[in-house]
Structures are given as C-alpha cells and as structure tokens.
C-alpha cells in the first residue's frame, strides 16, 4: 500500500540546514547530491515504511516512531525520524546520527 509522504516544516529546515553545512564544509556538488539522494530516500517511505527500524527513542513517545538512515558513503551520517499513519508517513525531523536523542517536546 502506497502512502503519501509528508515532510514537516521542521524536517525540511533540518534538511536544508544540513545541506547548507555540507556545501560550506565539503562541496556544493556533494551537497546537492546528498540533498537529492535524501529526498529520494524520504520519498521511498511511501512504500513499506515498516521496513525501517524503530527509532532508538521510540519508548519515550506515545506513538511509534521509526528512523531511516542516510549518507553518501557506506556509513550513514543522518537519520530521518518518522511516524506511520494509515494514509501517510510523516517525517518529523532530520538529525545528524551523532546528535543526542530526541524527545516528544522536540517534534
């Protein structure tokens, strides 16, 4: 069953901030490739989002949250935290993999 993918404004801002950092500290070409690849990965959540593991913070939330790991190389650098609704997948935030865990107040 295909669902729509909703990227909340906070997650969009997180994604843009990370791409801007990448462009400034790596290269604009890499940043664009990273950004477009991440968008493609997020869009893939429309089909079988359950294939991704529960987020490490899942027990702290009143609803189920999962995470999609993404990076250009063999080691993911970022994760998208999302929840699954009957008709949609909602991307709550994009975080660097090394950042502290999120809490319900963060989303």
**27-53 pLDDT tens trace:** 999 999 999 999 999 999 999 999 999
Q: What's residue 73's pLDDT?
A: 81
pLDDT grade, residue 106 (50/70/90)? confident
Alpha carbon separation from 35 to 10, 12, 19, 62 (Å, rounded):
16, 11, 6, 30
**For the segment 47-83, what is each residue's pLDDT rounded down to a tens digit?**
999 999 999 999 999 999 999 999 888 889 999 999 9
Q: What CATH number has the domain spanning 4-99?
A: 3.30.2310.20
pLDDT, residue 57, reads 94
Does pLDDT of 107 surpass 90? Answer: no
């Amino acid at each position: 069953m295909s669902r729509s993918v909703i990227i909340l404004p906070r997650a969009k801002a997180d994604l843009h901030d990370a791409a801007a950092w990448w462009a400034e500290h790596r290269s604009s070409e890499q940043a664009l490739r990273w950004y477009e690849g991440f968008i493609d990965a997020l869009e893939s959540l429309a089909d079988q989002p359950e294939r991704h593991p529960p987020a490490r913070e899942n027990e702290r939330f009143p609803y189920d949250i999962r995470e999609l790991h993404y990076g250009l190389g063999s080691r993911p650098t970022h994760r998208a935290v999302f929840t699954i609704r009957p008709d949609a997948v909602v991307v709550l935030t994009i975080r660097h993999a090394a950042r502290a865990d999120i809490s319900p107040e963060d989303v």
